[in-house]
Amino acid sequence: MQNLIEKCKKIQHYLNSGVFETVGNEAVSHYKKSFRDEGFTDRNLKKWKEVKRRINPRNPKAADATRPILTGKTADLGESIKWGREGRKVVIKSDKVYAKVHNEGGRAGRGKGFKMPKRQYIGKSAELTKKINTKVGKQLNTIAGS
C-alpha cells in the first residue's frame, strides 16, 4: 500500500511540475523542425511559399540561393522559439518583433503594398498533440512502473 501511495505522489508531482517541461520541450522541438522542413506540420506537412531569392538567384552558388526559407543569415527566428509557463499553461514565444508577421502573414515594413505571405511555424498541430500524449504517457508509465 505504501508503494502505491508513493507512486501516486510521484505522479501528482509530475503532473504539477514536470509535465510542463515535457510539453514545452516537445513543442519547441516540433516548431523548430518547421524551419528544417520549410513548412508547418499539423496532420501533414504544409510547405511554405517559395522565396524569390531561390527562384531567380543572382548567383546560383551563393548562400542566399540555397539557404532554407526563414533562416536568414543567422537563423535567429527559429532559434528564438522558447517556452514559458503561465499558470497551468505552456506558452510558446519568440522575442523577435517580426515573428508574428512571418507566422501569420500580413503587412510588413517593406514598402507600400507588400504583403508577407503566411509561413506558419507555430500553431495548433495534431501531430504535436500526438507526440506530447505519447511522451507524457511514457513518463507516467515509467513513474507507475518504478
Three-state SS at 11: helix
Which range marks the domain in which residue 39 is found? Answer: 2-145
Distance of alpha carbon 73 from alpha carbon 21, whole angstroms: 30
- Residue 82: strand pairing partners: 93
Confidence (pLDDT) at 140? 95
pLDDT digits (tens, 9 = 90+) for 100-119: 999 999 887 777 778 889 99
Instruction: Flag whether the pTM goes above 0.95.
Output: no
Q: Of 15, 19, 48, 39, whose CA–CA distance to 125 is shortest?
A: 39
How many domains, in total, are found in the chain?
Answer: 1
* Beta strand residue intervals within 1-146, DSSP E: 39-41, 45-47, 82-86, 89-93, 106-107, 115-116
Query: pLDDT tens across 50-86, in order?
Result: 888 788 777 777 777 778 888 878 889 999 999 999 9
